[in-house]
Amino acid sequence: MATSSMVILVTVFQIVCMLISSCTAQSGSNAKFFDVTTYGAMANGKDDNSKQFLRAWGDACQWNGNAVLVIPKGIYMLNPVEFTGPCKGSVAVRIIGDLKASTDVSLATWINFIHVDWLLVDGSGTVDGQGAAVWSKDDCQHNHRACQPLPISMGFNFIMNSKISNLNMINSKGVHMKVFSSQKVMISGIKITAPENSPNTDGISIAKSQDIKVQDCNIACGDDCVSMLNGNENVEIFDVACGPGHGISVGSLGQSIGDGQSTAVTGLHVKNCSFRGTENGLRIKTWAPSDPGLVSNFVYEDIHMENADNPIIIDQHYCPSHDCNNQAQSSIQIKNVTFRNIWGASSTPVAVNIQCSSKAPCLEFKLQDIILAYNGKQGLAKSQCLNVHGQSYGQEQPPGCF
């Protein structure tokens, strides 16, 4: 990521945080509070509170100033809801109580924020997707090709200048949090917990968004801790603890979906993160064959691995159903990727595995100070590379393979 882009991103987040903190401070003279219980919400863990929450949101959104939607202590059952904007002023949603989802799987998202600027969502409560009620019925556990997406717990779509912080999210049916087509959003202090064998329960998924920062999060789930999909630009992931889970992944990219859009992910910076007992560490995956596209300007640095199966893995022959053409090649170009100061232990012999496409070889790769031991009985850790051009620097264990 270019230095100028990082400076701009940091400045944006400082401004966003100052404005949000100012406009939602409880001592603010012009802040108006909207308590869901005054709209008839019942904290008994049984009655559906969707209508009451939506009425409270409607009034808060229409307040021409700084609004605070308050969910007090208690257990609130909640069917799928959409909190839509645009709003007349800033809105803070304070989740102090615990939210429980129904077992309905008919909608894509349980709690959805759409077209809202200057939004703050935070609180000490728990957001419980009650995924265990449906996981056992999901064919994803047995047949990847039969997978049907289960509901996302919290969606943030077309959001700008906003912050999501300090939530405790557990047992989503599907992805815990998804950010889509949004700009200038900070996600911090989030704790996400789901069983290691829960199907497709990604922690945080980001798609078609710009200037997103994820920091100080602790994620344990059954899929990617953080997943980066198509269309992202300038994303920072700092101080994230991942495990169990499938690591921090970019992709899968390049599968034709008929929308005529090319694949592009540019400007990713992952720093000061740790992986413990994960299936993967740092991963980029593209389909083969694939639509054309570009993945560029990535920096991974200061990363600790503790028994990750695949600490560094780039797979440009991704085909989870195993019935693809073995001769097919990805058309996505991956270039300008740096792995720096990555250390710890791999639970498999191949600690560095970079498998690129012969049709679009990986370019401008750098490996610097990579120290990964193999925790097993098959000798020393090793690296494997295919169709990649780059350089290795500093300490290399296993030895670089290009």
**Residues with catalytic function:** 223, 246
Do residues 80 and 154 lie in contact, with contact meaning Cβ atoms separated by under 8 Å? Answer: no
The type of residue at 236 is E
Residues in the chain: 402
DSSP string, 351-379: EEEEE--SSS-EEEEEEEEEEEEE-SSS-
Long-range contacts of 73-76 (CB under 8 A, 24+ apart): 73/43, 73/97, 73/125, 74/43, 74/44, 74/45, 74/98, 75/43, 75/44, 75/45, 75/100, 76/36, 76/41, 76/42, 76/43, 76/45, 76/49, 76/100
Q: What are phi and psi of 175, to 5 degrees?
A: -60, 140
CA proximity to 268, closest of 245, 296, 242, 230: 296
Q: Which residue carries 């100012």 as its tokens?
A: 22
